[in-house]
Structures are given as structure tokens and as C-alpha cells.
Amino acid sequence: MFYVYMLASEKFPTQRYTGFTTDMRSRLKAHNKGDSPHTSKYRPWRLVGYLAFENQQKAIAFERYLKSGSGKAFANKRLW
């Protein structure tokens, strides 16, 4: 499975992160250990939600959509 996930910083409530992975548990642990330069300064992170896809291309396309202007508006209204 391919996952698109949404994280929220516990210390900095306005900081959010959307990503893609094939292993949710290890990816969340990596974010909280500081292994990702994009998220290390806002840890710890909590998982807000994720969507699972069988198709990698669809998962990547959905992640890109959520990072676009209209995708952020959709996520703010429906997912966060």
C-alpha cells in the first residue's frame, strides 16, 4: 500500500506537513526522531490522518494535490 499522510506539530499548532510513504509507522518515527530536515524543528508530530492507495501514481498525485492551493483549501475544510 501507498500512504498519503497528514501530520500536525504538537508544540507549534500552526505547523502541518503532508507526505507520502509505504511504511506509515517507520515514517512517523523518522519525523519524530528528526531524520527529515523539513520537519525536524517542529517535532514532536502527531498523525492527523492518512489515506491508503493501491496505486503509487494515484497516491503521489493526491499528495501533490494536497500541497497545491486548491488542495490546501480542500484539506483545511475537510481533513484538518
Question: Is 22 a residue whose pLDDT tops 90?
Answer: yes
Q: Which domain holds residue 55?
A: 2-78
Query: Total structural domains in the chain?
Result: 1
pLDDT of 79 reads 87
Is residue 2 within 8 A of residue 55, CB to CB? The reply is: yes
Q: Within 13 Å of residue 80, how many CA atoms lie on the same side as its CB? A: 18
pLDDT of 80 reads 82
Find the CATH number of the domain harbouring 68.
3.40.1440.10
Which DSSP symbol is given to 79?
T
> pTM higher than 0.85, yes or no?
yes
The C-alpha atoms of residue 24 and residue 11 are separated, in whole angstroms, by: 21
